[in-house]
Amino acid sequence: MVLAQLGGSISRALQQMSNATIIDEKVLNDCLNEITRALLQSDVQFKLVRDMQTNIKKIVNLDDLAAGHNKRRIIQQAVFNELCKILDPGKPAFAPKKGKASVVMFVGLQGSGKTTTCTKYAFYHQKKGWKPALVCADTFRAGAFDQLKQNATKAKIPFYGSYMESDPVKIAVEGVDRFRKENCDLIIVDTSGRHKQEAALFEEMRQVSEATKPDLVIFVMDSSIGQAAFDQAQAFKQSVAVGAVIITKMDGHAKGGGALSAVAATKSPVIFIGTGEHMDEFEVFDVKPFVSRLLGMGDISGFMDKIHEVVPMDQQPELLQKLSEGNFTLRIMYEQFQNILKMGPIGQVFSMLPGFSSELMPKGREKESQAKIKQLDSSNPKLMNDSRMMRIARGSGRQIRDVMEMMEEYKRLAKIWSKMKGLKIPKKGEMSALSRNMNA
Ligand code: GDP
């Protein structure tokens, strides 16, 4: 995952500090320097990093902290809060209302994932009962309309565009008018991205914005953008009234820190992230659970929401009971794997658990893991020794190496599973309180 390395580095710095016998100025400075280095290496803008360090030092004044204060806790909390502050501009984005027509304009550079994201955004709302529509006001890139048309048709979302008309403003106005008449409540305008920032792009965006008067302008940014992110985001903000950010390609391995800078540059919140090329690989973005997951502190409330969403009601108590016991058998693992897979990419699901590192379950490995678990289903791993593995291999016509690999898979998942031991089982409505406890 993007930023996974950053999360890992920060968690390690905090852990090292926790291992120190006493926390003095030197230990604190070492920890902060390590965090600073990690942020800079991830391409977070220098000024943001410096401000963060200064703020933490101001909050954590070791001399002032009376004995008995848990210094580690205070430092960890300060790091958590400062990261949240970078990602939270303090004012929410305009929220369109279902049933009332809103115009949402998408801007961003070509290749950032703008057109894909327009459709994902429309599809997300359509599933929630909205009536979205897509307007292609990109007359610059050949094939832009075809791409939007293809995506929209697949998702059964009405669209508007033209192969002949070369004036993006005219198309945007016509499209918005048509869909207002058709009582669509979310009219999404995709604009041209060109290939780099240039005066003509900004002028065109400004004109489309002036003519369609969008309720919200969303800036789409590729997570792999580096140090240039801040200036680029700011340039967009200066031309049109950017009110929200969507960061795409969060499923990749980019350093991702530039994306954090985009929030600071536009003073607008991230509202969604793109986590894949498919239509439903799109997630609502919440600052605190995200930072919590980034630092390996988990997001139990998100995890519980997922369980309530995908596991059939009658199976929920049993699953939650088993999770809380941390009692892990291959049979449970196999049975529940079906349910867990429904929750989403498994690495993402498990990253909601405290202490989880996304390296434990790389994306794309889930099917493989499931198949391996199925093969091991009837074995009791505690009783597994060399001769038993040999027998299993012979009996199933496999190499001993395959059986050993399956055992490794089991151990890896068992490690994840064991983190759930002692998990309190919240009822709906109790979830946020639980999350607060876990994150405290
Ligand atoms: P545009 O030029 O900004 O409109 O970009 P496109 O929507 O055409 O996307 C450019 C490429 O990025 C396409 O190949 C998309 O499938 C891909 N893409 C968009 N969003 C994501 C994402 O969240 N994850 C991944 N892996 N690929 C994405």
CA-based angle 367:370:375, to the nearest 5?
130
| Most ligand 1 atoms within 8 A of CB, residue of 105, 141, 196, 248 to mutate | 248
Cβ of 345 closer than 6 Å to ligand 1, yes or no, is no
Where do the domains of the chain lie, and which CATH numbers do they carry?
4-87 (1.20.120.140), 102-293 (3.40.50.300), 298-439 (1.10.260.30)
Q: Determine if ligand 1 sits within 6 Å of the CB of residue 76.
A: no
Burial of 3 (0-12, 13-18, 19+ CB in 10 A): buried
Mean pLDDT of the chain, nearest integer: 79
Q: Which amino acid is at 374?
A: K
Give the mutation target among 2, 109, 116, 223 for probing the ligand 1 site: most ligand atoms within 8 A of CB: 116
CA of 116 to the centre of ligand 1 (A): 6
Q: Tokens at residue 139, please?
A: 């007359």
| Percentage of the chain lying above the pLDDT 70 cut | 70
Question: How far is 411 from 310, CA to CA, in rounded Å?
Answer: 26
114 CA from centroid of ligand 1 (Å): 7
Q: Is the CB of 276 under 6 A from ligand 1?
A: yes
Residues 359-394: pLDDT tens digits? 444 555 555 555 555 555 555 555 567 777 777 677
In sequence order, what are the residues at sequence separation of 6 or more whose Cβ sits closer than 8 angstroms to the Cβ of residue 269? 87, 88, 89, 91, 92, 93, 244, 245, 263, 285, 287
Kind and range of the H or E run holding 133: strand 132-137
In this prediction, residue 421 carries a pLDDT of 58
Q: Band of the pLDDT at 428, cuts 50, 70, 90? A: very low
- Binned at pLDDT 50, 70 and 90, residue 440 comes out as very low
Examine the pLDDT at 98 and tell me if it is beyond 70. Answer: yes
Average the pLDDT over each of 203-212, 277-286, 323-332, 372-381 and give the range with the smallest value.
372-381
Residue 317 to residues 276, 313, 323, Cα–Cα distance (Å): 32, 8, 10
Query: Is pLDDT of 405 > 60?
Result: yes
> In terms of Cα–Cα distance, which of 350, 418, 263, 412 is closest to 1?
350
- What's the angle, vertex CA 186, arms to CA 181 and CA 190, rounded to 5? 100
Which of 9-18, 132-141, 376-385 is modeled with the greatest confidence?
Answer: 132-141
pLDDT the model gives residue 76: 80
Residue type, 307: I
Q: Who wins on pLDDT, 329 or 161? A: 161
Question: Letter for the amino acid at 288?
Answer: K
Mean per-residue pLDDT for 297-325?
A: 67
Tell me the whole-structure pTM to 2 decimals: 0.73
